[in-house]
Amino acid sequence: MMYTDRAEAGRALALDLDYLRARNPLVLGLPRGGVPVAAEIASALGADLDVVPVRKLGVPGQPELAMGAIGENDITVLNEQVIDRMEITPADIASVRQQEQIELQRRARRWRRRDPISRRGRLVIIVDDGMATGATAEAACRVVAAEHPSAIVVAVPVAAPEAVVRVGSVADDVVARVGMRLGGVGAAYSDFHQLTDGEVSRLLA
């Protein structure tokens, strides 16, 4: 176990990101789990905080295993290795994508600001509570890149090495504090509870 909870992880990760303070970063959390991590980073750096809604496409019957992810503006990222290994069909992908698109839109409506913070020309730090495959972080990077930021940094408290490599192809830098071992992202936390919509709203308020 490495972190008590996501807030502690965010405070630890903020130390590694302090070098970006002077560049007026915009911190974007991936809801729900990335938001408490992002909130601590934004507080430590004196930075703006917002969200970038994305949704993991879970393998049918094994929803925690990502076969891809989706983001706003019809962004879709697929994990071909998982799709091939699990013999996922195009119909499976379409079905899961349709379901997750509904939740993506719901989250975007709930947490989007009335006056969204522009990402154009900003250094954007995309934050999640961890990366197993990197699919959701990659989708977030592609959504943000379309808005022409000055640079994209992905920051996570824990990540699998292959996820860092994957996301490194679409981000300017990846800051991962701890390499993930067997057991998944949740194994890095004592408290890895499923956040409620209310918790996320309070952190963003």
Mean pLDDT, rounded, of the chain: 93
pLDDT exceeds 90 at position 136: yes
Whether omega for the bond prior to residue 32 falls within 30 degrees of 0, making it cis, is yes
Nearest of 175, 195, 7, 42 to residue 117 by alpha carbon = 42
pLDDT of residue 113: 67
Q: What is the dihedral of CA 90, 162, 139, 100, to 10 degrees?
A: 50
pLDDT of residue 65: 86
Nearest of 65, 54, 55 to residue 88 by alpha carbon = 65
Residues 27-54: what's their mean pLDDT? 96
pLDDT of residue 184: 82
75-128 pLDDT, tens digit per residue, is 999 999 999 999 999 999 999 999 999 999 998 888 876 677 999 999 999 999
pLDDT of residue 87: 95
pLDDT of residue 179: 78
pLDDT of residue 180: 72
165-201 pLDDT, tens digit per residue, is 999 999 999 999 877 765 689 999 999 999 999 999 9
pLDDT of residue 116: 77
Amino acid letter for position 4: T
Q: Report if pTM > 0.85.
A: yes
pLDDT of residue 115: 74
CA–CA gap between residue 42 and residue 39 (Å, rounded): 5
pLDDT of residue 1: 62
Total Cβ atoms within 10 A of residue 58: 17
CA–CA gap between residue 155 and residue 37 (Å, rounded): 10
